[in-house]
Amino acid sequence: MLNLIIACILAAILGFAAHRASICTVRAVAEFTHSGTGYMFASIVKSALWVFAITIPVFLILPHTATAISGWQLTLTAMFGGLLFGIGAGVNGACAYATMARMIDGEIGMLLTVLGFAAGVLIFVALISTGTLARPSPAPSQLPEMIQIAPYVLMALAIVGAYEVVRLWRSRPAGSTLRSLIFAPAYRLSTAALLMGFAGGLILLIFGSPGYTTTFQQIVEAHVGTRPMPPYGRWLVLGAVLLGMFASTWQRGSFRVDWRPRLTWLRNIFGGVLMGLGCALLPGGNDALILYGIPGLSPHAIPAYIALLLGIFVALITMRAVFSVEMRVACRNDMYIADASADLAKREKPQGASS
């Protein structure tokens, strides 16, 4: 029970930080394609490295804990699942974390994404029942093989981590207090990466890999009788992530219910379907891959995440070329600034035309 309480507190911190920094893999790809910068993607990489920094010392002291972590087989199906999830996230305009954060902010379109996700899981169930697909198979983690070089990896991470912590503290705004930093309207991407990696690493050690998208997948499958309900602890940890996001939007005063129907809702639904099907094929979404699959050295994690990034890139490029819609993202000085889905046909007016 104590472990569960700690895991829920950490999950709430993770959700709060992800919401305050607007962390999103789709935004990371859009930032690179539109602005040519990589602040968002760098923060995603940092969050995975922070998980490594938290877990490696424990694996060295207690080697049996490394063998207790399992992964998933690297297969073409898993790669296709990553590609499909990425395409869906790109069409939706938000990855797993951003979908949850924007839904908590009051965007009905993101709620439709969640419903589409459930439909994608049901499609997976139907394909399983017909024998078209087989469920993903577990595989041993590669962590035990890494133990030999783990001290050197830990040394490098300790040096980089110490530098990062000092850099973040020294570069804080003048006159900032700890309270003002905690309740700042927006977090620096590196700060969010630190908090998410720290929380994610401890959750992995004391609770295991919760995989928020896979938890929801299991809930959907339980309602049609193909899998048992997930343990109540996973429900609570998922709820704690959402609670942390809600605390952020409530404290910041950014909650706004957007009920106005729009055509982009069709994209949200379709993107959600692809995300749900892709998550089931992987298994897991970008949340599970970044914070648990890659740091847990699951055989499928890095290749599947690369496929996921490719899927997002394909979706964004296709929407720009075919539908004249571009997702524009800007980050400056380690801060997320803004994004917008722009209709290029309207944006690229003849010179002198009214705006």
Of 9-23, 227-241, 315-329, highest mean pLDDT: 9-23
- Which position has the higher pLDDT, 142 or 351? 142
What is the distance, to the nearest Å, from the Cα of residue 184 to the centroid of all Cα atoms in its chain? 22
Highest mean pLDDT among 68-72, 267-271, 321-325 belongs to 267-271
pLDDT at 354: 29
Q: Which residues pair with 339 in a beta bridge?
A: 329
Rounded-to-integer distance, Cα 285 and Cα 94, Å:
12
Q: What are phi and psi of 45, to 5 degrees?
A: -60, -45
Q: What is the DSSP string of 191-217?
A: HHHHHHHHHHHHHHHHT----HHHHHH
Supply the pLDDT for residue 353. Answer: 34
Helices (H), the chain: 2-21, 25-35, 39-61, 63-67, 76-92, 96-104, 108-129, 143-146, 150-170, 178-182, 189-206, 212-223, 232-252, 264-281, 286-288, 301-323, 344-347
**Residue 223 reports pLDDT greater than 60:** yes
For β-strands 138-140 and 70-72, DSSP reports them as antiparallel
Tell me the two tokens of residue 7.
Answer: 């895991």
Q: Give 337's DSSP letter.
A: E
Confidence of residue 113 (pLDDT cuts 50, 70, 90): very high
pLDDT (0 to 100) of residue 349 = 39
* pTM of this structure: 0.91
Strand-pairing partners, residue 139, are 71
What's the pLDDT at 350? 36
pLDDT in tens, 148-180: 888 898 899 999 989 999 999 898 888 888 889
Task: Rank 85-99, 165-179, 209-223, 328-342 by mean pLDDT and report only the highest.
Answer: 85-99
Pair 87, 314: CB distance under 8 Å: yes
Each residue's pLDDT tens digit, 37-52 = 999 999 999 999 999 9
Nearest to 295 by CA among 10, 12, 9, 45: 45
